[in-house]
Amino acid sequence: MAAAMGGWRRLIIYEPFRSIFYAPQFVALHGGDFAAEALDVEVVTASAGVTTTAALMDGHSEIALGGIMRSLDVADRGGPFLVHFAEVNSRNGFFLLTRQPRPHFTWTDLVGTTVIDFAEAPTPWQCLLTVLRKHGVDPGSVRIERTRPLSDALAAFRAGHGDFFQTGQPFTEALIADGTAHLAASMGEATGPVPFSSYMTTQRFLRDGRDVLLRFTRALYAAQRRMARAEAKEIADVIAPAFADIAPDIRQRAVARYLAQHTWARDPVIRRDGYDYLRRILLDGGFITRPHRYEDLIDTTLATQVMGRS
């Protein structure tokens, strides 16, 4: 019906990096939900030259996927409001791995140790700082290294550097599977519910491109509902074209672990309490300096309209 009403529309979506964490995007793409809304979607992975926020501001893209922290950072530096309109991840997607088994792990185990951390985005680090403080651990008592790009960080941990490693998927499953690492903690469980990733757009496109955004959000919601009913293997099989370099068993284990901890949003609404929690994490960690308003960076009208029609 969308094709008949509005015709096919091409969209380039920027993502910060390619990850199974963003499975809803690839379920919508490879499961046919975008096509059902007559959207011809191409997903482009951001680079050092063009970030997700820069892609929006420079006109390379009309929609980008990423953390609300990216819009908070732009706003904190006096830039335009880049508005988030559809939630994708409702939990932190990272895991704390340890070199030796720690069946009775506590957060005080990190005191005096070295943690190799994810360097490509600040939110995992900021969440780690919050979790440490919540458990009475001074973050200054832990050496947190955020200097290596992911491939180098992975190689360093495999080579014996560091006591802990914070990383996402599929690296968590691969390191556990080959015995290099053991799971110390799920950062999704430790951090608690938080709107970790969502789709954002410019204020201009939010105003002028509402039909496209509505179709896009409706496709995402269709994928979210399907994922809520699906088994891990079904999701892993649907997203396989986007992750051809990942072994099927590792891909399925990654999906299963994310499903078990309710990582993926079941609807696209970004709720105020989650935003307030994320904002507090970033303020406490010094990433932002001002408590930017929910109303300036979040729009729920598309999500609620889509849910009302479904």
pLDDT above 70 for 35: yes
Residue 89 contacts residue 20 (beta carbons within 8 Å):
no
What pLDDT does 131 receive?
97
CATH topology of domain 2-91+194-309: D-Maltodextrin-Binding Protein; domain 2 (3.40.190)
What are the start and end residues of each CATH 3.40.190.10 domain in the chain? Answer: 2-91+194-309, 95-191
Extract the tokens encoding 128: 């780690």
Whether 278 contacts 68, CB under 8 Å = yes
**Angle at 225 (CA atoms; ends 27, 260), nearest 5 degrees:** 80
For the domain bounded by 95-191, which CATH number is listed?
A: 3.40.190.10
Question: What are residue 185's DSSP bridge partners?
Answer: 96
Average pLDDT estimate for 77-105? 95
Classify strands 39-45 and 95-98 as parallel, antiparallel or unpaired: unpaired
- Quickly count: other Cβ atoms within 10 Å of residue 152's Cβ: 12
- Does the pLDDT of residue 10 top 60, yes or no? yes
pLDDT, average across residues 234-261 = 96
Integer Cα distance of 247 and 252 in angstroms:
9
Residue 273 burial (C-beta neighbours within 10 Å; 0-12, 13-18, 19+): exposed
* pLDDT value of position 310: 46
How far apart, in Å, are the Cα atoms of 79 and each of 53, 59, 246, 288?
10, 15, 38, 13
Report DSSP letters for the chain, one per residue: -HHHHH--EEEEEEESS--GGGHHHHHHHHTTHHHHTTEEEEEEE--SSS-HHHHHHTTS-SEEEE-HHHHHHHHHTT---EEEEEEEESS---EEEESS--TT--GGGGTT-EEE---S-SHHHHHHHHHHHHTT--GGGSEEE--S-HHHHHHHHHTT--SEEEE-TTHHHHHHHTTS-EEEEEHHHHH-S---EEEEEEHHHHHH-HHHHHHHHHHHHHHHHHHHH--HHHHHHHTGGGGTTS-HHHHHHHHHHHHHTT-B-SSS---HHHHHHHHHHHHHTTS-SS---HHHHB--HHHHHHHHH-
Q: Which residue has the tokens 């963003």?
A: 22
* pLDDT band at residue 121 using 50, 70 and 90 as cut-offs: confident
* Predicted local confidence at residue 7, as pLDDT: 87
Q: Give the pLDDT score at 228.
A: 95
63: pLDDT strictly greater than 60: yes
Q: How many CA atoms lie within 13 A of 138 on its CB side?
A: 3
pLDDT band at residue 309 using 50, 70 and 90 as cut-offs: low
Rounded mean pLDDT, 82-103: 96
Q: What is the mean pLDDT of the chain?
A: 94
- The CA radius of gyration of the chain, in Å to the nearest whole number, is 19
pLDDT on residue 3: 46
Say what the pLDDT of residue 47 is. Answer: 79
How high is the pLDDT of residue 67? 93
- Report, as an integer, the average pLDDT of 199-218: 96
pTM of the predicted structure, to 2 decimals = 0.93
Q: State how far the Cα of 92 lies from the Cα of 127, in Å rounded to an integer.
A: 8
Instruction: Give the per-residue pLDDT at 4.
Output: 40
- Region 143-171: mean pLDDT is 95
Judged against a pLDDT cut of 80, whether residue 182 lies above it is answered with: yes
Rounded-to-integer distance, Cα 267 and Cα 224, Å: 6
Res. 1: pLDDT tops 60: no
- Asked if the model's pLDDT at residue 6 lies above 80, the reply is no
